[in-house]
Structure 1
């Protein structure tokens, strides 16, 4: 909002009837409301039918009658963080393990060859786009030229305003050091002659693959004993994992020497 606070969307509930009206509230404003979960049971007329509904009120989890509910979550995902929403089958995980998993995702360094997950939650593309590391088309058009460091788009006639240039040029970031000493490198996904729409992803950044977030690698894993080599927390790796640089990362460090 205008004060810099993050706001979250909620559906308005009146006398147990869930309306299509959407309101945006900050964490301070939502505390006084009785907020039902997005998974609350409704009938065909969008009326809450459970005798008691699981709600959040005054920063506490409790149950209340449907008539007391004032708001309802828009999506089940909005009660968890971005990192937690990337964990598949989160509802089946132990809370402590989900906490560890969401924290460890923030510590991931970009691999040499990003590999998008075979099993995901559907949030991977949104996170990659919102992270700002991908190159997103400002206007639709046709790819005029593309190389490793630059993409030129000839903008469609219906998207060119009077007095504006009919060409968009996107300069890609190549092998630049990040604040964490990791490597920032953007790779084009389009070819000359391809048609792109507004907001299409045209180039991958670090830890993205085909416009999707790719923090790790797709591996075949076995939970088994293997001659005692994986005793307790030890793990055994195939030699091919090393040969194919599956978990290889590039780190760039700047050192200054005064003679």
Structure 2
């Protein structure tokens, strides 16, 4: 009872509309008991990190003193039984993309060669091009299709539910894109 009444991590749910409710349920905080304080948090903590890819939205964070300390889960992110954030990837075997979806943590992800979700596929779910744009150990590069082990599930995988609703997000001005998800 004391946790729900007096903890910094406990809030009344925002029920103005369905989007604000979903966003409130998918919020992640670095503040509170055992966490950071606004005053002690430097730029390194608030900044976007490569391990956030597909797990924490780089766009949706409040403006002001809490920027980068309160974040939202990305669309396909979930927590595993140990409390680590995981994101979804499609399994690739011998250059053929399957419908099998595996969830990987940031630590596991570093061991695999991962293609982007918008890589062109033919009718047999094989990569069309001789070189595929991939991520390996937080570096972006090009590689042969038979070396690819996983593929992103969706281009919207890196953003939150609210940010995914912004039309033509990749063509928007950065300042407008940062304000958009907070306008629920």
TM-score (ref. length: structure 1): 0.38
Asked if 1:28 corresponds to 2:103, the answer is no
Asked if 1:4 corresponds to 2:91, the answer is no
Counting only pairs closer than 5 Å after superposition, residues 42-191 of structure 1 correspond to structure 2 as: 42-93=121-172, 97-98=173-174, 100-105=175-180, 107-108=182-183
What are structure 1's unaligned runs of at least 5 residues?
A: 109-214, 216-259
Distance, in Å, in 2 between the alignment partners of 1:32 and 1:18 is 18
Distance, in Å, in 2 between the alignment partners of 1:34 and 1:12 is 11
Instruction: Map Cα deviations across residues 62-114 of structure 1 (whole Å, 9 max, x no partner).
Output: 11110110001111110234443232112323xxx23x234324554xxxxxx
Which among 85, 89, 95 is matched to residue 16 of structure 1?
Answer: 95
SS in 2 for 1:63: strand
Structure-1 residue corresponding to 2:36: none
Distance, in Å, in 2 between the alignment partners of 1:61 and 1:85 is 23
Answer yes or no: is the 8 Å Cα contact 1:17–1:48 preserved in 2. Answer: yes
SS in 2 for 1:38: coil
What are structure 2's unaligned runs of at least 5 residues?
A: 1-79
Instruction: Map Cα deviations across residues 136-193 of structure 1 (whole Å, 9 max, x no partner).
Output: xxxxxxxxxxxxxxxxxxxxxxxxxxxxxxxxxxxxxxxxxxxxxxxxxxxxxxxxxx
Answer yes or no: is the 8 Å Cα contact 1:52–1:63 preserved in 2. Answer: yes
Distance, in Å, in 2 between the alignment partners of 1:83 and 1:76 is 14
Answer yes or no: is the 8 Å Cα contact 1:83–1:102 preserved in 2. Answer: no
Distance, in Å, in 1 between the alignment partners of 2:128 and 2:181 is 40
Distance, in Å, in 2 between the alignment partners of 1:70 and 1:37 is 11
Distance, in Å, in 2 between the alignment partners of 1:76 and 1:107 is 21
Count of residue pairs brought into register by the alignment:
105
Answer yes or no: is the 8 Å Cα contact 2:163–2:181 preserved in 1. Answer: no
- Bigger Rg over Cα: 1
TM-score (ref. length: structure 2): 0.52
Q: 1:106 to 1:38 in 2, by over 3 A?
A: closer
CA RMSD of aligned residues (A): 1.8
Of Structure 1 and Structure 2, which has the larger fraction of its residues in helix?
2
Which structure ranks higher in relative contact order (CA pairs < 8 Å, sequence separation ≥ 6)?
2
Distance, in Å, in 2 between the alignment partners of 1:11 and 1:84 is 23
Answer yes or no: is the 8 Å Cα contact 2:89–2:151 preserved in 1. Answer: yes
Structure-1 residue corresponding to 2:39: none
